[in-house]
Amino acid sequence: MLYLSEETSSQKNMEAWLQQLNNPQFGLVKDSILEILEPRLVCCDYIQRTAEFAFDVKNWQLNPQKGLHGGILVTGFDVSFGLLCHYYAKQNMISTISIDTTFLKPVQETDTIHYKVRITRMGRTIFHLTAEAWLEREDILAAVSNATFMKLEQTFPTPV
């Protein structure tokens, strides 16, 4: 497992840390919603404080009209915001304070959604973020969102 510290922060470290999403034993994935959502890192930029994650729509996420349930779309935003915040919060836990989402287009059962997230302001404890959800098919903007997260004093236990 790759652990985070201010001394190791870099583009290469960010990519390596986020690539751990593919590891079912990674602390953020194991026994969490990430285990069933299966996000994939598409790209990230350490200097710009951005990341892009892809999620495939799954049958259990559909509403009665066979479109993606809106709550799942928001969950994708929350997870994507959280993953980016986790990198910059290092070993500290984080918490969502608020998320505001605007739905623009329906998401179909065969879609792959790309969440493009950006930290717009990062204080000592508060993160402000924006994001867009794009559908891989025909590059359709499906939703936009902004959020506020807090870096908590609690830290993740370091495995021995």
Please list the rounded mean pLDDT of every run of 10 residues in the chain (160 residues).
Answer: 60 92 83 89 97 96 94 97 94 94 96 98 96 95 98 74
Q: Position of tokens 């495939």? A: 56
Q: Which of 138, 73, 137 is closest to 99 using CA atoms? A: 73
Answer for the pair 70, 103: CB distance below 8 angstroms, yes or no.
yes
Predicted local distance difference test score (pLDDT) of residue 117: 98
Question: 0.85 cut: is pTM over it?
Answer: yes
Domain borders along the chain are 6-155
Answer for the pair 89, 81: CB distance below 8 angstroms, yes or no.
no
| Strand blocks (E) in the chain | 40-45, 50-56, 92-103, 112-122, 126-135, 140-155
Integer Cα distance of 84 and 18 in angstroms: 9
Integer Cα distance of 85 and 126 in angstroms: 10
List the structure tokens of 102. 């605007």
Fold of 6-155: Thiol Ester Dehydrase; Chain A (3.10.129)
Answer for the pair 118, 85: CB distance below 8 angstroms, yes or no.
no
Answer for the pair 154, 92: CB distance below 8 angstroms, yes or no.
yes
Integer Cα distance of 64 and 72 in angstroms: 14
For the chain, the distance separating the N- and C-terminal CA atoms, rounded to the nearest angstrom, is 11
